[in-house]
Amino acid sequence: MRSGFKLTTQEKNQIKEAIKKHLGDKEITYKENEVDLISGIELSFNDFNISWNIANYLEEFEANIKDYLNDQYKIHLHEQARIQEGA
């Protein structure tokens, strides 16, 4: 497990209990203050990865904005076509 910040003992215990509940008793290695995980956290095991950080959030936010703008553009084109048909 990697994090972009120092985890408290309580946070580590909560994470360990959550993992134990869902995946069984697993050994966890913590790497803290990882520079590439700006305000983020990452859990990796086998070939599986769960990650959240500011970069992921901003990428998802950007994709949502692009989708919204594309939808708005399609609506605009549809309205323009309707107006031209009525003229």
User: How many H-runs (helices) and E-runs (strands) does the chain carry?
Assistant: 2, 3
Q: Are 1 and 37 in contact (CB under 8 A)?
A: no
Positive/negative CA dihedral, 27, 11, 2, 6: negative
Backbone angles phi, psi at 86, to 5 degrees: -80, -15
Taking the model in full, what pTM does it have?
A: 0.51
Taking only Cα atoms into account, the Rg of the chain, rounded to an integer number of angstroms, comes to: 22
- The answer, yes or no, to whether residue 76 has pLDDT greater than 80, is yes
Q: How far apart are CA 2 and CA 61, in angstroms?
A: 23
Sequence-separated contacts (24+) of 68-73 with Cβ below 8 Å: none
Residues 21-51 pLDDT 10s: 887 877 777 777 877 777 788 888 777 888 8
- The answer, yes or no, to whether residue 72 has pLDDT greater than 90, is yes
